[in-house]
Amino acid sequence: MWMVSPPVDEGSPQLWDRGTGRLSPIGVFQPPQKLFLSAGRGRALEFVRKNAANGLSVANLVAGLSSVLCSLNRQYQHSCWLLLVGFLLDLADGAVARQLDACSALGAKLDDFADFTTFGLATALLLQPHGVLDGLLAVAYALAVFARLCFFSSGIPFTYRGLPCPYASSLLAGTFLLTGGDVTVLRVTAAVMGVFMLDRGSYPHDKVLESQLWKKVVYAGGVVTVLFSPAAVASVYCVAWSTSYIVFPFAVWSCKSPPSPPPNAQ
């Protein structure tokens, strides 16, 4: 029995498929399912690109809130570990945003809010404020972080004014773990860090993940020690890392020399 294919318009984008017995699209025309899947995949990838850094900031915020809850329940060692995780997340979110060209006003606000929660409120509660004087110290520390976040811009490229609060928080968390929770040492260190944050001295914008290879190695070492090493190793590593940035900011953590003050007007 002879099979006759239906006539097909030469200008039509369809041809007769002998296997299915139906007209099928050809050329650039694709089935609707493939079009939808392709468009959906593209939107998903674009959403991930725009919000990867925001996701790290949200993770930092969650770490800070979890640290607050741990401190309220007197689980101070857990609180310290969460502060160190927040420290690593904060160093990564800005680098990811710049690498993916996804910097935004929303991301900047989210980063500041996460930083104040983790390095301000959560770190202040690590001081265990049980009395009036202890409470005043905790409030003063949180206010120092607040002021540091509000006035960090120096007007000089790649330079901060005042000690960046993540390094102060990392030093306090490492000190707590290293001393076994010596509150007196922790409070003295917090008072000194508050002065450093309000001093408006110059500190480099080190961009650890976008700078020399050895800085990336230092960051990778921090991830390994915080996530997989014993408390003694992680605390020594983070204390040494933060102290080197605080004491030798330009000599170690920047290829640029510290900016010279402008000459006095005559």
pLDDT in tens, the chain (266 residues): 445 545 544 444 454 455 555 545 544 445 555 545 556 677 777 767 777 888 899 999 999 999 999 999 999 999 999 999 999 999 998 888 888 887 788 888 899 999 999 999 999 999 998 889 999 999 999 999 999 988 776 566 667 888 999 999 999 999 999 999 999 999 999 999 999 999 888 898 878 888 889 999 999 999 999 999 999 999 999 999 999 999 999 888 875 544 445 544 33
Which two tokens mark 55? Answer: 């996701």
User: Structurally, how many domains does the chain consist of?
Assistant: 1
50: number of Cβ within 10 Å: 16
Domain holding 68, by residue range, is 44-253
pLDDT, residue 258, reads: 44
CA distances in angstroms from 241 to 32, 89, 199, 217, 244, listed in the order given? 55, 15, 21, 12, 5
Beta strands in the chain (DSSP E): 14-17, 22-25, 159-161, 202-204
CATH number assigned to the domain comprising residue 117: 1.20.120
**Nearest 10 degrees: CA dihedral of 194, 195, 201, 202?**
-30
128 lies in a domain? yes
16 lies in a domain? no
68: number of Cβ within 10 Å: 20
